[in-house]
Amino acid sequence: MLTVTDLYILLIIFIIIIYQLYDHKLLRYPYQTYSQECVMLTVIMFMNLWLTIFISTYNISIFTSSDSCLVSCPDMLKPVLSTRGDNYYSPFGESDNKDTLNQCLLSAWGGSHIFMYALITFICPRLWWIILLIGICWECYEAHALGCQDFIDILWDSIGIYCGYMFANKYNTKTPIPIRISKKRPFKHKSAP
Each residue's pLDDT tens digit, 113-135: 999 999 999 999 999 999 999 99
Per-residue pLDDT, 174:
46
How many other β-carbons are positioned within 10 Å of the β-carbon of residue 35? Answer: 10
Reported as a single tens digit per residue, the pLDDT across 49-101 is: 999 888 877 777 777 777 788 898 888 888 888 888 887 776 665 666 667 77
Average pLDDT, the chain: 83
Instruction: Give tens-digit pLDDT for 31-52.
Output: 888 888 999 999 999 999 999 8
Distance CA 52, CA 61 (A): 13
> What whole-number distance in Å separates Cα of residue 13 and Cα of residue 19?
10
**Structural contact between residues 189 and 145, judged by C-beta atoms closer than 8 angstroms:** no
Residue 165, Cβ neighbours under 10 Å: how many?
20
What does the DSSP 8-state code read for residue 105?
Answer: E
